[in-house]
Amino acid sequence: MSRKRAAWVITWDWFSETRKPRRLLLHILQPRWKVSRVLEHMKFLYLNSELFVPSERLRFLSEKPWRGLIHQEGPRIIIGDNPILVGSWVHDLRVEPVVAE
């Protein structure tokens, strides 16, 4: 069993199966990262996800299109509308190995 660690954990969430991202990767970041750095990393992940074709990504190079898509709730950051990218600072992260059957 692994010990508990502090970290920023970034996951995808969605509200309907038609908007579920195909690549559901768990991202784990340094716990010492400031909120502003985590936010920039999350914007990069969201923008470069399968949600946008390259031509749609260009409008997000300025800050204006991000308005209304970024919400902060204490140690939690949410980007998007559906699906959303959720970043949470946790103090008790534990990753268990998967046992193949």
Inside any domain, residue 44: yes
Inside any domain, residue 59: yes
Report the pLDDT averaged over residues 16-31.
78
Number of domains in the chain: 1
Higher pLDDT, 36 or 101: 36
Nearest to 30 by CA among 44, 49, 10: 10
Inside any domain, residue 69: yes
Inside any domain, residue 84: yes
Inside any domain, residue 100: no
| Average confidence score pLDDT of the chain | 86
Domain that holds residue 12: 5-93
Inside any domain, residue 83: yes
pLDDT, tens digit (0-9, with 9 covering 90-100), for 41-79: 999 998 888 888 888 888 888 888 888 899 998 889 999
Inside any domain, residue 99: no
